[in-house]
Amino acid sequence: MQHQLNILHGSNMAENAFTHPPTLDPVAVQRWAALTQPQAAWLHEEVGQRMASRLDWIKIQPQAWCDWDGLRGGLAAHALVQQRYPGATPLVAQEHQPQAQLVRSRLKRRWWWPADWRRPPTQVSMPSASSVQMLWANMVLHRVAQPQSVLSAWHTALAVDGFLMFSCLGPDTALELRGLYRDFAWGPMGQEFTDMHDWGDMLVQSGFAEPVMDMERIVLTYTTAAALLQDLRELGRNFHPQRFRGLRTRRWRQRLEHAIEERLRRPDGKLALTFEIVYGHALKPPPRFAVQAQSSLSLEQMRESLARNRRPSGKNPAQVR
């Protein structure tokens, strides 16, 4: 696996504003989002486990945290975070009611299990403004047609000094299949994924501070082309606006599997497919008040400003170790 770490500073990114959305068909994305899968894809759970280990870097102990689209992000990963913060109130944000009902049934407290008696019950609802100290979003952003609006919603949900943890697919995902589709002139294999530097730009533009981005490449291996394609179907669909619009034939599927067998087979006999995983962390800083010849502040803003000024000086409580 290859790793890369970037610490991005707002002063550098302001000059390179991210201005274009990802190549996603919003209608296709919404249809996929409304489907209820019984469980998360294996890769989502694996990435969630790796992202949970990154919480070792964070000192802040949230009183409440939100798992955004926890059903697709992975309820096993959700359980790992809940174990790390046993006293914090967990909240799962699900946009569609059938998915919310499934999450409620899966995370319902067990009256016969003593460990559940001591944990705060999981709430399944969208978070209100400034209601959580951590927002957890595992493998979400790469399947959002308008990510800036989602980042703004996350920023609104977080309390001041709260932090965001997220992961998503990066541009080198399925590069082997992209080359295959290009060589056979089959159109785009899938949407173009956003680079981690552009995610850093968007975080700063959405009001977050000091984003830290890193990435790794995970190579999954398969014994057959059919198994590889089935794994991809669990991860999503082809959301590219210029994708092939008709129905592919059985003969085309055979050609695809044959091409995969020929092009993606390694010397050890396994088929290999690369996934680039982008991880991000950012803080919600206190608001900056514009000072003019005559300025006005709300009572709540004044209280928050005075409370912060009374705190002892030192490091930010969410600063990484």
Lowest mean pLDDT among 11-25, 35-49, 76-90, 95-109: 11-25
pLDDT band of 19, cuts 50, 70, 90: very low
Q: What is the pTM of this model?
A: 0.83
pLDDT of residue 316: 43
For the chain, domain boundaries: 3-171+192-215+278-287
Contact 147, 21 (CB under 8 A): yes
Helices within the chain (DSSP H only):
10-13, 26-34, 42-53, 70-73, 75-84, 97-106, 114-117, 147-157, 175-183, 196-205, 225-235, 250-263, 299-310
pLDDT of residue 40: 94
Q: Beta partners for 68?
A: 93
Query: What whole-number distance in Å separates Cα of residue 170 and Cα of residue 258?
Result: 27
Residue range 190-234, pLDDT digits in tens: 999 999 999 999 999 999 999 999 999 999 999 999 999 999 999
Residue range 3-171+192-215+278-287, CATH number: 3.40.50.150
pLDDT of residue 177: 96
Q: Is pLDDT of 243 > 60?
A: yes
According to DSSP, the β-strands at 64-68 and 89-93 are parallel
Q: Report percent pLDDT > 90 for the chain.
A: 72
Tokens of 24: 């996603």
pLDDT of residue 3: 45
Residue range 144-180, pLDDT digits in tens: 999 999 999 999 999 999 999 999 999 999 999 999 9
pLDDT of residue 91: 97
pLDDT band of 317, cuts 50, 70, 90: very low
